[in-house]
Amino acid sequence: MTWLPLALLAVPLLGACALLAPATEGRLRPIGLSVSGLTLALAVVLAATFEYGQAARPQFTVDQPWIPALGLRLHLGVDGISLPLVVLTALLTFLCCVYLCWGPAPLPARPRALLFTLLVLEVGMLGTFLALDLLLFFVFFEVVLIPMYFVIAIWGGPGRRAAAIKFILYTLLGSVVLLLGLLLIWAQTGTLDIVALTQAHGAGLSRSVQILAFVAIGIGLAVKTPMWPLHTWLPDAHTEAPTVGSVLLAGVLLKMGTYGFARIAIPVLPEGAAAIAPWLGAFAVVGIIYGALACLAQSDLKRMIAYSSVGHMGFVLLGFATLTTVGVNGALFANVAHGLITGLLFFLAGAIKERYGTADMPTIGGGMLARFPHLGALLTFACIASLGLPGLAGFWGEMLALLGAFQPAPGLPRPLFLAFMAIGGLGAVLTAAYFLTMLSRVTHGRPAAVRARGDHGTAVATLDEGRLDVRGYELVAWVPLVVLTLVFGLWPKALLALTTPAVQMLLGGTP
């Protein structure tokens, strides 16, 4: 089954190439659905055939020469840390294609280019989670930048050009620093193999080199995460991006940054991680509070959800900063939960914007539960899940990250991390405050007398027509996210049992 990682990359890449043929003009919808659906099926097969008793070691590995003259290899594989993110990537890409291609509404402008871009984006995202070579990781890490730039710049809102330029400048500058850190590891160890470097657990790297490399790699990853204060590209990108762009940006691209901490920074540079962990925790809790306060000040629904990601990623970074099995498990759980819940939130925000012609909450004017009861109910569910209600997926990641801060790894200052835990708890309260405030402004009250907008901005009839509630193809795209949010909320062991052995291994223990 070693062909599965290659197939996961080859199917969307070949599908993107097929879209370039002129003969596919009238078959864009079936091609987009079939290619993304086949990729999801391969990801499900990968999960079904994965040896869960050996989750700490890479499986389905491919290790072939890539550039022999430089000693570079095509090294791919999947373990308990990367498997959930591979499946999440394939799922969200498929649901985005369902949202675009299944419905009766016309496709956006330049539909061939949009589907091509989404499939190339999927290749980069999957490759990042499958790569077991530092340089290969960096190549896939960079592949996603250009497709996402075009998704924002071509199919975004009125301020799309400025938002796209800001996105590409921030991420490219962060990538330069990341590359320097990776090359420093290569220069000191003589290898790019992530598996070998993880098993060495810092051997051959002095403490000063580890600290320098961790800072460089951490800055590069923090831009993509995004971590305060390197987050300022995110609200503009989310606000201007089309719905599918926002879903993939929040659901997958942000996870590429946090995944890099778990895959490279912490296991390869353990002394550097221990030295920088208090600073990482400090930036994390500032991001939690800052994101919550920024959300309270927003009037645009998409921009509010974007700022909420800054706070949620703060909990992920706090979990990593504890350097404990509990905390890192919480960070990885929060990664997946955020992808599901925030992906659903951006789907719903896009649907609301299509119906009302705006995402401005004062203009929407409330009364959504009276006018669109199903849409309002789904928005309420997603918000409650995102604020961390027990029994839903958003709860476990934040709770475990705070629990890890209560008892951080030996050598870390416990009083400081107790302060981080208290500040993080305050951030959780503020998270509930801004989501409940938003619901009171949007879903409750009497409906405002405004007119709706149809798919892709086409004017339609007045808003009080029931047919504009949730459509069938929207349910197909959204229900899987609702179900998985419930499943992981009620049965967290389904994910924690997979990640725990791999987390113990990356922290230098035995699974």
d(CA 200, CA 8): 29
Identity of the amino acid at 112? R
pLDDT of residue 203 exceeding 60: yes
Which amino acid appears at position 65 of this protein?
A: P
pTM over 0.85: yes
What's the average model confidence in pLDDT over 154-180? 89
- pLDDT mean over 388-405: 91
Question: CA 230: distance to chain centroid?
Answer: 16
Q: What is the mean pLDDT of residues 359-388?
A: 87
Segment 281-312, tens digit of pLDDT: 999 999 999 999 999 888 888 889 989 988 89
Closest CA to 78 of 2, 178, 136: 2
- Cα 352 to Cα 216: distance, rounded to the nearest angstrom: 40
Does residue 431 contact residue 387 with C-beta atoms inside 8 Å?
Answer: yes
Produce one character per residue of 69-98: b if its CB has 16 or more CB atoms within 10 Å, e if not: eeebbbbbbbbbbbbbbbbbbbbbbbbbbb
What's the rounded mean pLDDT across residues 471-487? Answer: 91
Q: Look at residue 87 and tell me whether its pLDDT is greater than 70.
A: yes
Q: What length is written for the chain?
A: 511
Model pLDDT, residue 458: 39
Query: Are 233 and 170 within 8 A, CB to CB?
Result: yes
Evaluate whether 309 touches 480 at the Cβ level (below 8 Å): no
More reliable by pLDDT, 72 or 318: 318
SS3 labels along 321-338: HHCCHHHHHHHHHHHHHH
With both helix axes pointing from N to C terminus, report the angle between 301-322 and 393-406 in degrees, rounded to the nearest 10. Answer: 40
Please determine, for residue 466, whether its predicted confidence score (pLDDT) is greater than 50.
Answer: no
* pLDDT exceeds cutoff 60 at 462: no
Closest by Cα among 314, 321, 313 to 413: 321
CA end-to-end span of the chain: 24
Alpha helices (H) along 131-227: 134-143, 145-155, 160-189, 194-200, 207-224
| 3-state DSSP assignment of residue 366 | coil
Give me the residues paired with residue 72 across strands: 67
In 3D space, the residue among 428, 453, 246, 225 whose CA is nearest the CA of residue 345 turns out to be 246
- Higher per-residue pLDDT: 347 or 55: 347
pLDDT of 100 strictly over 90: no
What pLDDT is recorded for position 505?
A: 86
- Dist CA 486 CA 483 (whole Å): 5
Dist CA 97 CA 473 (whole Å): 11
Mind listing the pLDDT tens digit for each residue in 106-134?
667 788 888 999 999 999 999 999 999 99
Half-sphere exposure of 111 (CA within 13 A, CB side): 18
What local confidence, expressed as pLDDT, does residue 446 receive? 72
Summarize the confidence of residues 323-340 as an average pLDDT. Answer: 92
DSSP-derived 3-state class of residue 242: coil
- Please choose, from the candidates 282, 289, 231, 227, the residue with its C-alpha nearest in 3D space to the C-alpha of residue 430: 289
pLDDT attached to residue 455: 41
Reading the block at residue 321, the tokens are: 């900063």
For residue 187 the two structure tokens come to: 């220069």
| Residue 340 scores a pLDDT above 50 | yes
**In Å, how far are 235, 251, 420 from 289, measured between CA atoms?**
16, 21, 11
Pair of tokens at residue 213? 């490399």
Task: Please confirm whether the linkage preceding 226 is cis (ω < 30° from 0).
Answer: yes
Model confidence pLDDT, tens digit, residues 44-63 = 999 999 998 888 888 898 88
